[in-house]
Amino acid sequence: MSEACTYTADEMMTVMASRLLIDGQVCFVGIGLPSAAANLAVRLHAPALHLIYESGTIDTRPRVLPLSIGDGDLAETATAIVSLPEVFAYWLQAGRVDVGFLGAAQVDRFGNLNSTVIGPYDRPTTRLPGGGGAPDIALHAKQVLVVLKQSPRSFVARLDFRSSPGFLGGSGERARLRVGGLGPAALVSDYGVFKPSVDTQELELVARYPGVEVESIVNATGWPLRVAAHVEVVSAPTVEELQVLRDLQQLTREAHSRPIRLPI
């Protein structure tokens, strides 16, 4: 077996998430794993993906993975740069975004997300950064993809705080919000892929990665996991997928460690 065929769970997760993006879609990208997956998709099967970051950079083509949501590279390679009130009102709220791509600290069985606190809101044991734009993206993007590393601490029976709505309590409750966004289309972890079931909208395991057993996925989930009648085994990352991802990460490391030059 060639070396490129061994891969990490993180690489599998990023590759899997990238495969879910369809060429030509308008994608509102969160920083971190979502950004890595979206930029991988652009370099593989989705060269016409329209990337929007909440810094107001529209149709951007970053040369490396941005560290922040507003790195200069995003601005320099964007078709348009609009203000933050505009990107949220005219572009997101008005329904011009096909896919919102989000991470979080916790997810529950209905795809609701917590990125705000662990523990009580007023006296948290861990204060997380907060929702930022995610509550808005989760409402208004026509569909949402969530990518999150899985453990019983991140896949929880009950969120400490609901920062961004998924299907709320399920069984059609989200429809009562009367927003354009239909909610999470898929949740991608480092174990497999979960999709909402048709009836209750509870996330169920629909695909697993090679070598990952269903039992271990159930054990890494903090609620009694629904498992689809047929769980597909995802194909391992291809040599090309891994190469492009690793090259991108290498370029990113180099770019972010390059010393800056100040004008004084």
Partner 1 sequence: MITTLSAMIASHVRDGDCVALEGFTHLIPFAAGHELIRQRRRDLHLVRLTPDVIYDQLIGAGTARALTFAWGGNPGVGSAHRLRDAIEHAWPQALSWVEHSHAGLAAAYTAGASGLPFGVLRGYLGTDLRAANLSIAEVVCPYTGERLATVPALRPEVTILHAQQADQAGNVLIRGIIGAQKEAGLAAHKLLVTVEEIVERLDAPMNSVVLPHWSVTAIACVPAGAWPSYATGYYARDNAFYVTWDEISRDRQRFVAFVDRYIHGTTDHAQMIGLLRADGLLP
Instruction: Please say if 54 is a catalytic residue.
Output: yes
**29 to 48, contacts with partner 1 by CB under 8 A?**
31-32
Residue 5 is a binding residue for partner 1 (CB under 8 A):
no
Element (H, E) at 217: helix 214-219
The count of residues interacting with partner 1 (CB under 8 A) is 61
Nearest to 112 by CA among 35, 168, 182: 168
Estimate to the nearest angstrom the gap between the alpha carbon of 219 and the chain centroid. Answer: 22
One character per residue 94-113, x = contact with partner 1 (rule: CB under 8 A): ------------------x-
Helix (H, G, I), strand (E, B) or coil at 3: helix
Q: Which of 7, 88, 194, 209 binds partner 1 (CB under 8 A)?
A: 88
Q: Which of 133, 237 has the CB closer to partner 1?
A: 133
Residue 2 is a binding residue for partner 1 (CB under 8 A):
no
Question: What are φ and ψ of residue 253, in 5° steps?
Answer: -60, -45
The alpha helices in 88-154, defined as continuous H runs, are 134-140
Question: What are φ and ψ of residue 165, in 5° steps?
Answer: -80, 135
Q: Which of 8, 79, 83, 250 binds partner 1 (CB under 8 A)?
A: 83
Give the shortest CB-260-to-partner 1 separation in angstroms. Answer: 5
Residue 120 is a binding residue for partner 1 (CB under 8 A):
no
Q: Which residues contact 160 (CB under 8 A, 6 or more apart)?
A: 106, 114, 116, 117, 118, 119, 120, 121, 124
Estimate to the nearest angstrom the gap between the alpha carbon of 176 and the chain centroid. Answer: 24
Q: Which of 2, 257 has the CB closer to partner 1?
A: 257
Question: What gap in Å lies between CA 189 and CA 41, rounded to an integer?
Answer: 17
Question: What gap in Å lies between CA 43 and CA 244, rounded to an integer?
Answer: 7
Contact 11, 242 (CB under 8 A): yes
Q: Which stretch binds partner 1 (CB under 8 A): 6-14, 43-51, 170-178, 200-208?
A: 170-178
Residue 56 is a binding residue for partner 1 (CB under 8 A):
yes
Question: Residue 151 carries which side chain, given as an amino acid letter?
Answer: S
Nearest to 69 by CA among 120, 125, 133: 133
Residue 135 is a binding residue for partner 1 (CB under 8 A):
yes
Q: Which of 76, 240 has the CB closer to partner 1?
A: 76
Task: Out of 3, 11, 54, 241, pick the active-site residue.
Answer: 54
Q: Which stretch binds partner 1 (CB under 8 A): 20-28, 87-95, 97-105, 209-217?
A: 87-95
Give the shortest CB-241-to-partner 1 separation in angstroms. Answer: 23
Binding site for partner 1 (CB under 8 A): 31-32, 54-57, 66-72, 74-76, 81, 83-85, 88-89, 92-93, 112, 116, 121, 123-136, 139-140, 161-165, 168, 174, 177-179, 256-257, 259-264
